[in-house]
């Protein structure tokens, strides 16, 4: 009878203990195994030298450690590195590493495609393909951390310098619509026998799936970012269709409840700057009224994102002076506000440009060509780092 091999990347710490128990092994063996996998990047049981030989032999016939295969690997002139990873059946997702002076941030995907269909997001335009498994989600971190170390000649294991210090779930997909695998992957990121990241260094970005925000606050309250993009329901209904189901009042109430379980934290509100659409001083004042309200007010910061236009959206990027003026209204009201610089655009890794490679992995070159075409159409700064200082 054929037995299916278990991919150990699919198991969270508790599940790995159960798995080892089924093999007649004690819980400490699960911890050893977990350290080999997630701290040393080991995928060959023969290399796990402090495991008993009998256990290694058992594992070889019943389990494997397999992250999604890398289809392409590009490094931008600014050091941003983007992998396109295969998640089967013609689907692929992107994983992006953004190095900065004191930290390295990995942006990972949780779904192939996305059903939410936000108007400003090119991922949404391709529709939903499927949810990623735990192994496919945590496997992006596993692959990236150990690949970055290999590239730099840094030894695996806790003594080697960690390359990824922060994780953001802001890639393809709505993480809270793929809840269980996402929560399991988050638990592994925080676990001391795996990646040991502090929960404030792991950010989940959601378009506002209210019941799942509450669930996350109970299960694994990592830092929360919310794609807001509008200052009232009418505007948001046209940008984030999910708003019709969970309007702003409900969303903000969920954010407030979330902070009860993540004290001393704040919510990051992401706000895509769309020319003539959501970027007036009046919109900024409306936002101030929302988040500084004496009853519903929320401890928050704003991250203004210059939009990267794509033709199907019918939207364009706000001009830089407008973005600055908008930021000033927020800052004058005492709200911490940053303006995101886009990164890695020469390899097409800017936010909202994740679509198009799913279903057809031969299109990387075609997309590069398309980027050149967009630059001709929208100006030379399309896809370039936006130099705005607040």
Q: Which residues bind ligand SF4 (CB under 6 A)?
A: 114, 116-118, 121, 123-124, 172-174, 207, 227
Catalytic residue among 94, 145, 147, 357: 94
Please give the Cα distance from 68 to 263 (Å, whole number): 36
Place of tokens 């050149």: 372
| 272 marked as binding residue | no
Q: Cβ contacts of residue 20 below 8 Å, gap of 6+?
A: 26, 27, 29, 30, 33
Give least dist CB 64 to ligand SF4, A. Answer: 30
Determine if residue 174 is labeled as part of a ligand binding site. Answer: yes
Select 42 or 305, whichever has its Cβ closest to ligand SF4.
305
Nearer CB in complex with ligand SF4: 227/337:
227
CB of 227 to ligand SF4, least distance (A): 6
Query: CB of 270: closest distance to ligand SF4 in angstroms?
Result: 9
Catalytic annotation on 351?
Answer: yes
CA geometry: angle 96, 214, 223, nearest 5 deg? 35
Question: Using CA atoms, how far apart are residues 281 and 97, in angstroms rounded to an integer?
Answer: 34
47 is in an annotated binding site: no
Nearer to ligand SF4, 13 or 352 (CB): 352
Residue 97 has a CB neighbour count (10 Å cut-off) of 24
Q: Is 118 part of any known ligand binding site?
A: yes
DSSP string of 254-277, one letter each residue: HHHHHHHHSTT--EEEEEEEBTTT
> For residues 240 and 298, which CB has a smaller minimum distance to ligand SF4 in the complex?
240
Please, what is the minimum distance in Å from the beta carbon of residue 198 to ligand SF4? 25
Which single residue is written with the structure tokens 């988050």? 186
Looking up tokens 């890794």 gives 349
Q: Which residue is closest to ligand SF4 by CB?
A: 124
216 is in an annotated binding site: no
Burial group, residue 99, by CB count within 10 angstroms (0-12, 13-18, 19+) = middle
Binding-site residues for [4Fe-4S] cluster: 114, 118, 121
Active site residues: 94, 351
Binding-site residues for S-adenosyl-L-methionine: 173-174, 205, 227-229, 308
């Amino acid at each position: 009878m054929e037995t299916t091999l278990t991919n150990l990347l699919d198991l969270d710490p508790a599940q790995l203990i159960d798995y080892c128990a089924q093999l007649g092994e004690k819980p400490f063996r699960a911890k050893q195994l977990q350290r080999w996998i997630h701290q040393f990047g080991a995928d060959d049981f023969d290399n796990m030298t402090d495991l008993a030989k009998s256990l290694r032999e058992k594992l070889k016939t019943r389990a494997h450690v397999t992250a999604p295969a890398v289809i392409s690997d590009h490094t931008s002139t600014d050091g941003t590195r983007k992998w396109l990873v295969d998640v089967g059946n013609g689907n692929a997702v992107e994983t992006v590493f953004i190095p900065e002076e004191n930290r390295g941030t990995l942006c990972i995907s949780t779904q192939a495609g996305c059903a939410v269909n936000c108007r400003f997001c090119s991922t949404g335009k391709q529709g939903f393909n499927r949810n990623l498994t735990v192994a496919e989600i945590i496997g992006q971190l596993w692959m990236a951390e150990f690949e970055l170390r290999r590239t730099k000649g840094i030894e695996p294991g806790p003594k080697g310098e960690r390359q990824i210090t922060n994780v953001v779930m802001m890639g393809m997909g709505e993480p809270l619509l793929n809840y269980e695998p996402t929560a399991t992957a988050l638990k592994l990121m925080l676990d001391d026998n795996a990646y040991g990241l502090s929960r404030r260094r792991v950010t989940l970005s959601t378009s506002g799936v209210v019941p799942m925000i509450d669930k996350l606050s109970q299960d694994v309250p990592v830092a929360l970012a919310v794609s807001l993009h509008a200052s009232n329901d009418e505007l948001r209904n046209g940008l984030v269709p999910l708003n019709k189901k969970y309007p702003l009042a409900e969303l903000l109430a969920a954010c407030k409840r979330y902070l009860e379980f993540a004290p001393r934290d704040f919510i990051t509100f992401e706000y895509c700057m769309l020319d003539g659409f959501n970027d007036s001083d009046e919109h900024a004042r409306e936002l101030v009224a929302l988040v500084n309200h004496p009853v519903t007010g929320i401890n928050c910061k704003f991250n203004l994102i210059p939009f990267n236009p794509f033709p199907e959206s019918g939207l364009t990027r706000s001009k830089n002076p407008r973005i600055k003026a908008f930021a000033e209204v927020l800052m004058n009201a005492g709200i911490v506000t940053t303006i995101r610089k886009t990164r890695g655009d020469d390899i097409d890794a800017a936010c909202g440009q994740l679509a198009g490679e799913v279903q057809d992995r031969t299109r990387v070159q075609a997309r590069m060509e398309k980027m050149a075409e967009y630059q001709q159409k929208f100006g030379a700064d399309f896809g370039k780092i936006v130099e705005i200082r607040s």
